[in-house]
């Protein structure tokens, strides 16, 4: 089993991102993949765990420790990774985001056998994936990106919810398993 932990977008950001997914689908008939989950900023990419009960207990206590905090998104980007095209939004890194990523890497490794995930560590780039998919001859994500008049955006919101995503081993899909409010004090 695998799981990921993420900060959810507010409704304005969710709607902005989903409008782009709609435009991608209309122009290039892309299959929905990343957009099957709510718009989010991953704090910890999918990692292996052995017990949902233990993970859920940890997740519940984590949400109770984190106070709402500011998120700023500044630019749409396009990249490729292992045969996938990706359209995303850059998230301005803050001390809070970096501390949460580091805390998850440290604490989850104490709870489970091997929680390593792609891109962990100091080089982790905070982002919000708009959509992604396997790319063969044409790359619709790059095509969309190259046609943008401006790639700069100015979105900000108060992060108020954290999500636990679940990825079963026997299928190539995922669900948003649990959402909790951030209830910690500053």
For residue 181, pLDDT over 70 is answered with yes
pLDDT per residue as tens digits for the range 88-122: 999 999 999 999 999 999 999 999 999 999 888 89
Q: Which tens digits make up the pLDDT trace of 110-119?
A: 999 999 998 8
Classify burial at 34, counting beta carbons within 10 Å of its beta carbon; exposed 0-12, middle 13-18, buried 19 or more: buried
| Strands 175-181 and 40-48, sheet pairing | unpaired
Domain annotation for the chain: domains and CATH numbers: 2-181 (3.90.1140.10)
Give the Cα separation of 6 and 9 in Å (integer): 9
In this prediction, residues 52-78 reach a mean pLDDT of 98
Structure confidence by residue, pLDDT tens digits, 133-167: 999 888 999 999 999 999 999 999 999 999 999 99
**Number of CB atoms found within 10 A of residue 8's CB:** 22
């Amino acid at each position: 089993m695998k799981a990921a932990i993420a900060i959810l977008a507010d409704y304005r950001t969710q709607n902005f991102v989903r409008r782009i997914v709609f435009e991608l689908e209309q122009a290039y008939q892309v299959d929905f993949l990343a957009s099957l989950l709510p718009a989010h900023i991953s704090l910890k990419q999918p990692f292996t765990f052995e017990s949902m009960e233990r993970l859920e207990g940890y997740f519940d206590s984590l949400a109770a420790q984190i106070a709402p905090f500011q998120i700023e998104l500044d630019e749409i980007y396009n990249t490729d990774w292992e045969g996938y095209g990706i359209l995303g939004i850059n998230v301005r890194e803050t001390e809070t985001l970096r501390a949460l990523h580091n805390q998850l890497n440290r604490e989850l490794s104490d709870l489970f056998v091997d929680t390593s995930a792609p891109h962990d560590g100091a080089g982790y780039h905070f982002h919000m994936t708009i959509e992604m998919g396997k790319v063969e001859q044409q790359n619709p994500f790059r095509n969309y990106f190259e046609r943008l008049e401006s790639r700069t955006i100015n979105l900000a919101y108060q992060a108020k919810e954290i999500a636990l995503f679940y990825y079963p081993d026997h299928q190539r899909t995922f669900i948003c398993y649990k959402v909790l409010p951030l209830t910690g004090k500053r």
